[in-house]
Amino acid sequence: MFDFADIFSKISHKQITISILHKKKKKKNYVIKKLYNFAFANESLLNLKLMGKIKVLHILNRFNLGGPTYYAAYLTKFLPEDFETKLIGGVQDKEEGNSEFVLQQYGITPIVIDTMHRSIGFNDFAAYKEIKQIIKEYQPDIVHTHAAKAGMLGRLAAKRCGVKIIIHTFHGHVFDKYFNGLKTHFYKSLERFLARQSTKIIALSNLQKYDLVEKYKICRNDKVRVIPLGLDLDQYLEKQDIKRESFRKAYRIADDEIAIGIIGRLAPIKNHSLFLDAMALVLQHTHKKIKIFIVGDGDQHSFIEQKLEQLNLSYANYNSNDSQEQCPDVQVYLTSWIKEIDIVNAGLDIVALTSLNEGTPGSLIEAQAANKAIVATNVGGVADTVIDGETALLAESENIEDVAEKMLRLIEDDKLRAELSSHGAEYVKEKYHYLNLAQNMADLYRELLTKQTTDWKTRARIHKLDIFHLFS
């Protein structure tokens, strides 16, 4: 007979110490195995806690201003205390804003891989070798990659190093409107191969999952888990009146002027040309005073300046944070990157997005968190991110007249604009909070670890069991 009261009384915080009256080793191992099997088969009855730290390595494309940096930062900082995390990533392009201040804000010190850049090149092999060395030294239980370049190099390195759990998050995809047919076919084939190397694929919306599984056949349905984006949204309603006054004073926006902004990289996929064509049409059909803000930077900056000249719209490259000069009186402001995006949203009246494709657009989540009316093209994950007719008006992609018509409705109808500006914060706060993201991801990590580990001795190293309360 075994003294089970004595067995359970020996359970400690770090391990299960079992004292068994029967001294035979085989019998002892048999009892321990049975005990663990009972525990894992009855998780609803037991209080299962993690033993030690689960080590997660996050690999990010590059530390540029944008949604993926915040996403990786939240998962690095806010996972439960039984996780240990490390964040590595590449360098941003020269036209992009650096996002390391975001990481500093949360006390995160990343490892920057100087050889990992956005474009494909000879540096990729060096970056791959460096990632592989980091994996060997850190010995993570899980490697979680974010976006395309990190997804390719990180997953290949993790597979080569024998990492059991490999996860990739699609923050968007390049299967539509990015490249020509041949190049798009290459990237789809590459992502199908990489999906087979992955334990799980994260989609940010149901529509994105549909794209990955049904539309582009990247992976099987059971390979994909939908976990919505998470952001720190509380700041967008805090002291909003003060922030609004500050922004509008800096850019000399009168109370009777309507400020309309588009926020994001100046890249072809964002289709700023459509936005400007639509705004030029709007200005021909309204008597309201309008000021337009293009917030962000990128390789399309010169093109946008040329476009503004063609449309005969007066503009200035002006950022009130970087200039000692008085704000010029023009129709369009190219502000470059502004870190305090909550202040920008507070100062605007309407937020626009005219992209050719999107994953889950963080700029629209932030605009709703600030209770701003939205006009956006109905592409990618946009329809999953806003509520058409309640927080936004959606227009057809690449349709200048439709975008202009939706914009004119909000400009001319103060009541409609106010209605669309009153529902956003309530809608996004619960759905897209960063703590929900962290908890949902932690649950997935634990689930995958438990499924992956079938040997009871290995599972003992993953879990610690506090089951003494069952016998007290």
pLDDT tens, position by position, 282-297: 999 999 999 999 999 9
3-state per-residue secondary structure call for 330-356: CCEEEEECCCCHHHHHHHCCEEEECCC
How confident is the model at residue 45, as a pLDDT? 34
Q: What is the mean pLDDT of residues 249-269?
A: 95
| pLDDT tens digits, 392-414 | 999 999 999 999 999 999 999 99
Q: Which residue, among 84, 52, 45, has the nearest Cα to 460 in the 3D structure? A: 52
Model confidence band, residue 318 (pLDDT cutoffs 50, 70, 90): very high
Rg of the chain on CA atoms, in Å: 26
Mean pLDDT of the chain: 85
**pLDDT computed for residue 148 by the predictor:** 87
* CATH 3.90.230.10 is the classification of domain 234-431: no
Q: Which residues fall within 8 angstroms of residue 21, CB to CB, at 6 or more apart?
A: 1, 2, 3, 6
CB atoms within 10 A of CB 226: 15
pLDDT at residue 3 greater than cutoff 50:
no
Q: Pick left, alpha or beta for residue 166 (phi over 0 → left; psi -120 to 50 → alpha; otherwise beta).
A: beta
- Which is nearest to 35 in space by CA: 60, 10, 67? 10
pTM: 0.75
54-230 and 234-431 in the same fold: yes
Q: Is the pLDDT of residue 11 over 50?
A: no
Please, which pLDDT band fits residue 14 given cuts at 50, 70 and 90?
Answer: very low
Pairing verdict, β 373-377 and 392-395 = parallel
Q: What percent of the chain has pLDDT over 70?
A: 81
Measure the CA–CA gap between 447 and 223, rounded to whole angstroms: 14
Cα distance between residue 322 and residue 84, in whole Å: 38
Any idea how long the chain is? 472
Tell me if 203 sits within 8 A of 209, measured CB to CB.
Answer: yes
Question: What would the pLDDT profile of 320-354 be if each residue is shown by its tens digit?
Answer: 887 768 899 999 999 999 989 999 999 999 999 99
CA atoms within 13 A on the CB side of 158: 26
Q: What is the DSSP string of 40-99?
A: HHTTTTSEEEE-S-EEEEEEEEE-BSSHHHHHHHHHHHSS-TTEEEEEEEEPPPTTSPB-
The CATH class for the domain spanning 54-230 reads alpha beta
Residue 6 belongs to what H/E stretch? helix 4-9
So what's the pLDDT on residue 2?
43
Domain boundaries, the chain: 4-50+457-471, 54-230, 234-431
